[in-house]
């Protein structure tokens, strides 16, 4: 089977959505929107949930390509990408390794350490170190941000202004048996920016203005909770800087398809926070908004992503 999707409209396209992660509901919304967009462009679409029956469903439906509208664990960490590689089904987005690295904030920063991407100051705290000596946090500079390395949609992120906040956040983070280390980053002050990238091409910068202290899950996916301005009202120099850093991160991590990088615009310029290999595709999502500012409609964006579907290991 060829490594790239044929692009023939009679072929069956599976939109993969749902799954078992904490972002299931968001993924279902993204998947439904993608499915409708593809159908409006004349594609033959089948909607499939990510569960133990997925391999059989992909084979039964004679799927020729998969549009991955999954978020979080199993969907953007390389797991489903590996399955599709085994089944020889071309798929949208990044490959196994790029997804695995970009899903983990610690691995992402390690991979970008020698690049031109501007990174926040950070340190890693292991569960074993904290449980052995909880008082070690007394030496940390505050305020500080605690991050679950694989949390998505701003899940598993805590802003800590004092040691009590920090203790509570660490106990909550380490309550999950799968979290053995957390990323501690300096609390950056400035405008929140995001840059969508399609196959190495950065879109106009979007400024995010949440009406709460933090752009959390509720603010991100509830209409009216956040204002978005595109193109962002920042200097041309800052916008270009953010776009170039997003492109650099995309290329350094060997990403494909659509991705989205988040920044804080500080006194030293845009500082990179993370990059998402499977950004949201809902009515309030940022990547479609940025594409619209580049005169690319949502159905056109979804179709362009589909036409880039391929196997990455072949």
CA distance 120 to 154: 17
DSSP states along 30-94: HHHHHHHHHHHTT-EEEEEE-STTHHHHHHHTTEEEEEE---STTTSSSHHHHHHHHTT--BSS-
pLDDT tens profile 26-38? 999 999 999 999 9
CATH topology (fold) of 122-186: Dna Ligase; domain 1 (3.30.1490)
CA distance 251 to 274: 14
pLDDT tens profile 226-275? 899 999 999 999 999 999 999 999 999 999 999 999 999 999 999 999 99
DSSP states along 18-44: --SSTTHHHHHHHHHHHHHHHHHTT-E
CATH code: domain 12-92 is: 3.40.50.20
| Percentage with pLDDT > 90 across the chain | 86
Where in the sequence numbering do the catalytic residues fall?
23, 153, 221, 260, 262, 274, 276, 280
Nearest Cα neighbor of 24 from 90, 82, 77, 75 is 75
Task: Tell me if the pTM is above 0.85.
Answer: yes
Domain 102-117+189-301 indexed as CATH 1.10.10.10: no
CA distance 110 to 114: 8
Domain residue ranges in the chain: 12-92, 102-117+189-301, 122-186
Q: In the predicted model, is pLDDT for residue 43 greater than 90? A: yes
pLDDT tens profile 122-173? 999 999 999 999 999 988 999 999 999 987 656 789 999 999 999 999 999 9
């Amino acid at each position: 089977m060829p490594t790239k999707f044929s692009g023939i409209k009679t072929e069956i396209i599976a939109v993969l959505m749902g799954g078992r992660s904490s972002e299931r509901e968001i993924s279902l919304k993204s998947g439904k929107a993608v499915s409708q967009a593809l159908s409006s462009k004349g594609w033959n679409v089948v909607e499939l949930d990510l569960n133990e029956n997925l391999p059989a469903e992909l084979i039964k439906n004679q799927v020729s390509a998969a549009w991955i509208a999954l978020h979080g664990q199993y969907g953007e960490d390389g797991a489903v990408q590996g399955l599709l590689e085994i089944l020889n089904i071309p798929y949208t987005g990044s490959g196994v390794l790029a997804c695995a690295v970009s899903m983990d904030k610690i691995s992402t920063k390690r991979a970008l350490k020698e690049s031109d991407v501007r990174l926040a100051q950070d340190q890693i705290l292991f569960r074993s170190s904290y449980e052995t000596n909880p008082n070690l946090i007394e030496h940390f500079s505050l305020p500080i941000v605690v991050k679950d390395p694989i949390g998505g949609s701003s899940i598993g992120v805590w802003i800590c202004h004092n040691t009590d906040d920090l203790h509570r956040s660490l106990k909550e983070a380490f309550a999950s048996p799968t979290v053995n280390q957390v990323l501690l980053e300096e609390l950056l002050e400035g405008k929140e920016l995001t840059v969508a990238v399609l196959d190495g091409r950065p879109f106009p910068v979007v400024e995010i203005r949440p009406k709460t202290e933090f752009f959390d899950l509720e603010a991100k996916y509830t209409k009216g909770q956040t204002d978005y301005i595109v193109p962002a009202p920042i200097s041309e120099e800052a916008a270009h800087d953010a776009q170039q850093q997003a492109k650099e991160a995309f290329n350094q991590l060997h990403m494909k398809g659509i991705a989205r990088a988040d920044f804080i615009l500080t006194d030293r310029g845009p500082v990179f926070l993370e990059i998402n290999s499977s950004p949201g595709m809902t009515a309030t999502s940022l990547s479609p908004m940025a594409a619209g500012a580049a005169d690319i409609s949502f159905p056109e964006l979804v179709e362009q992503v589909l036409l880039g579907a391929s196997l990455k290991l072949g």
